[in-house]
């Protein structure tokens, strides 16, 4: 809900800004950060990682479960297969003991044995078969069980460390995606600024050629210009109008692309704060050397890889735990109906039980050990990826710094070249008015001026984009 509120607020702010006045680069960035779908997914991944961290912590605590059921049995339970006759005993005063009541031979007084070789009892106690039958047609049972892990081979500790690092990993991936979004916004933003400047340049060029065309026609009427001069100017003028149309189409499409990146309707009409700036402020400070350890610490993609190495190490511990003993404390309360705690009773009754459970892996044909070795290799692979990424980041920073420095040099050169082109156009126009230059000379000067101005615009945009890329490489773009 909070993300939705922020998104709606950002979109409303962007629409209001678009309707009221120019939209700044920071506003475009904020709108894009709030509306980008991939960034929303990354934010939800951070929330998910937090839930998984809490889930892992719950493994430290005792688990309480309930299980219950009902069973219908077709037949009753009978202890005896028939009526039972049990011999009895009487107390003998002579011996002071209970003696079996047996049939004796009247002549000898000795007990008599039956055909089966057993003594024949004189009296018996009858236990009918029906007396030992129990009604188990309907049986209800249940149990409440408590399980407290004592030692799980380090698995629980490792899983908590994994989820902790996974939460940091999700946050780093979010920051890395945010940097990509900002870089995409800046590219689209400066593309619009570039095309807007080139549009104004194209309009100015068309106006200049239109004025030249008008002057050449007047000169033709006075006989000081030829039909070839008119055709040359007309060709240039028509080509300039075609270029103007192309720039207008490109500018419209670029505005749509920027609106889409910012989460605005693609047909939204808005202007940018940097449109029409003749002399932009550019910071010409590019460091000659950088503290790479600080850059490594700031880079979110490198932080994600570091967390990947740590997670692989914890997963190795999880694999190792499969070869270690597990100890848990178990307690339960079991009940049933019918029950046998006090004879056979058709009512609910139960009892507590407490115990400990130990599991010791003995032999699994090397399966658990190979699982551990595979996890160890995964850790080594992640470490190699981290080392490789550090080398690539070092190269990125050096290349970005070099490109930024060269972009500033190119911009300064293009600015100086534009000043020369302006002076050249002024001299050509002055010579043309005095009849000392032809239309071809003026057209060449105007073409050179157009090229110089266009190169100066491209150089200015390249400086901005190089600065953004350098900031991305240094890990300072999204902080």
pLDDT digits (tens, 9 = 90+) for 339-382: 888 878 888 989 999 999 999 999 999 999 999 999 999 999 99
Q: Could you please report the per-residue DSSP string of 16-83?
A: HHHHHSPBPHHHHHHHHHHH-HHHHHHHHHHHHHHHHHHHHHGGGSPEEEEEEEEEE-SS-EES-SS-
The predicted structure's pLDDT at residue 238: 92
Which residue has better confidence, 86 or 285?
A: 86
Which of 10-24, 198-212, 300-314 shows the lowest mean pLDDT across its residues?
Answer: 10-24
pLDDT band at 60 (very low <50, low <70, confident <90, very high): very high
* Tokens 């000379």 -> residue: 441
> What does the pLDDT look like over 105-162, one tens digit per residue?
787 778 888 788 788 887 888 888 887 888 888 999 999 999 999 999 999 999 999 9
Which residue has better confidence, 128 or 394?
A: 394
pLDDT band at 2 (very low <50, low <70, confident <90, very high): very low
Indicate the pTM of the whole model. Answer: 0.81
CA dihedral 223, 224, 230, 232 (to 10 degrees): 150
The predicted structure's pLDDT at residue 10: 44
CA dihedral 364, 369, 375, 381 (to 10 degrees): -130
The predicted structure's pLDDT at residue 12: 45
Distances from the Cα of 291 to the Cα of 175, 391, 404, angstroms = 21, 14, 18
Crossing angle of helices 25-35 and 227-262, rounded to 10°? 50
Q: Which of 448, 458, 460 is nearest to 208 (CA)?
A: 448
The predicted structure's pLDDT at residue 280: 61
Question: For the purposes of burial, counting CB atoms within 10 Å of the CB of 323, is it exposed (0-12), middle (13-18) or buried (19 or more)?
Answer: middle
* Tokens 């407290």 -> residue: 148
The predicted structure's pLDDT at residue 278: 64
Residue 44 in this model has a pLDDT that exceeds 80:
yes
Q: What is the mean pLDDT of residues 318-322?
A: 93
Which of 120-124, 299-303, 422-426 shows the lowest mean pLDDT across its residues?
Answer: 120-124
> What does the pLDDT look like over 153-174, one tens digit per residue?
999 999 999 999 999 999 999 9
pLDDT band at 285 (very low <50, low <70, confident <90, very high): low
Q: What is the mean pLDDT of residues 297-322?
A: 95
> What does the pLDDT look like over 258-273, one tens digit per residue?
999 999 998 888 889 8
Strands 97-100, 89-92: pairing kind: antiparallel
Alpha helices in 276-366 (DSSP H): 292-298, 300-321
> What does the pLDDT look like over 438-478, one tens digit per residue?
888 888 888 899 999 999 999 999 999 999 999 999 999 98
> What does the pLDDT look like over 197-253, one tens digit per residue?
999 999 988 998 888 888 888 888 887 677 888 888 889 889 999 999 999 999 999
Q: Could you please report the per-residue DSSP string of 310-363?
A: HHHHHHHHHHHHTTS-EEEEEEEEEEEESB-BTBSBSS-EEEEEEEEEEE----
Which of 9-13, 22-26, 36-40, 387-391 shows the lowest mean pLDDT across its residues?
Answer: 9-13
The predicted structure's pLDDT at residue 17: 44
What three-state secondary structure class fits 334? Answer: strand
Which one-letter DSSP state was computed for residue 341?
A: B
Q: Cα(11)–Cα(294) distance, rounded to whole angstroms?
A: 35
Q: Cα(249)–Cα(199) distance, rounded to whole angstroms?
A: 10
Q: What is the mean pLDDT of residues 299-305?
A: 95
Which one-letter DSSP state was computed for residue 113?
A: B
pLDDT band at 328 (very low <50, low <70, confident <90, very high): very high
Which one-letter DSSP state was computed for residue 132?
A: G
Q: What are the backbone dihedrals phi and psi of residue 260, each rounded to the nearest 5 degrees, phi first?
A: -65, -40
What three-state secondary structure class fits 88? Answer: coil
Token pair belonging to 36: 């980008």
Q: Cα(88)–Cα(7) distance, rounded to whole angstroms?
A: 92
Domains of the chain and CATH, by start:
2-35+153-323+364-474 (1.20.1600.10), 76-144 (no CATH)
> What does the pLDDT look like over 68-102, one tens digit per residue?
999 999 988 888 888 888 888 888 788 888 888 88
């Amino acid at each position: 809900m909070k993300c939705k509120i922020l998104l709606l607020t950002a979109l409303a702010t962007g629409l209001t800004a678009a309707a009221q006045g120019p939209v700044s680069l920071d506003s475009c960035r904020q709108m894009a950060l709030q509306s980008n779908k991939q960034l929303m997914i990354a934010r939800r991944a951070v929330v998910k990682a937090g839930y998984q961290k809490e889930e892992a912590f719950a493994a430290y605590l005792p688990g309480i479960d309930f299980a219950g059921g009902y069973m219908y049995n077709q037949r009753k339970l009978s202890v005896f297969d028939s009526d039972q006759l049990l011999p009895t005993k009487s107390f003998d005063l002579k011996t002071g003991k209970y003696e079996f009541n047996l049939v004796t031979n009247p002549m000898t007084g000795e007990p008599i044995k039956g055909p089966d070789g057993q003594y024949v009892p004189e009296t018996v106690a009858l236990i009918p078969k029906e007396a030992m039958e129990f009604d188990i047609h309907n049986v209800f049972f249940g149990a409440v069980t408590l399980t407290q892990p004592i030692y799980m081979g380090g698995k629980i500790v490792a899983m908590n460390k994994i989820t902790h690092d996974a939460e940091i990993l999700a946050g780093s991936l979010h920051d890395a995606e945010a940097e990509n979004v900002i870089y995409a916004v800046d590219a689209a933003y400066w593309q619009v600024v570039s095309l807007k400047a080139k549009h104004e340049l194209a309009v100015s060029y068309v106006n200049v050629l239109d004025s030249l065309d008008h002057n050449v026609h007047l000169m033709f009427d006075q006989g000081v210009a030829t039909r070839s001069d008119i055709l040359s100017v007309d060709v240039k003028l028509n080509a300039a109008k075609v270029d103007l149309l192309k720039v207008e189409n490109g500018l419209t499409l670029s505005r749509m692309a920027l609106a889409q990146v910012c989460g605005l309707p693609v047909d939204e009409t808005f202007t940018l704060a940097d449109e029409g700036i003749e002399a932009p402020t550019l910071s010409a400070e590019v460091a000659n050397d950088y503290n790479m350890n600080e850059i490594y610490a700031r880079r979110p993609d490198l932080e994600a890889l570091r967390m990947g190495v740590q997670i692989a190490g914890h997963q190795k511990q999880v694999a190792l735990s499969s070869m270690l003993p597990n100890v848990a404390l178990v307690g339960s309360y079991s009940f049933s109906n019918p029950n046998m705690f006090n004879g056979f009773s058709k009512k609910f009754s139960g009892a507590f039980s407490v115990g400990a459970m130990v599991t010791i892996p003995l032999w699994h044909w090397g399966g658990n050990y190979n699982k551990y070795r595979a996890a160890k290799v995964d850790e080594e692979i992640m470490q190699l990826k981290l080392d490789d990424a550090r080398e690539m980041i070092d190269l990125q920073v050096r290349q970005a710094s070099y490109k930024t420095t060269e972009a500033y040099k190119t911009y300064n050169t293009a600015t100086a070249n534009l000043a020369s082109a302006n002076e050249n156009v002024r001299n050509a126009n002055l010579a043309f008015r005095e009849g000392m230059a032809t239309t071809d000379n003026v057209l060449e000067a105007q073409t050179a001026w157009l090229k110089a101005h266009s190169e100066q615009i491209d150089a200015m945009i390249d400086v901005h984009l190089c600065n953004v890329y350098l900031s991305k490489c240094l890990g300072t773009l999204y902080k």
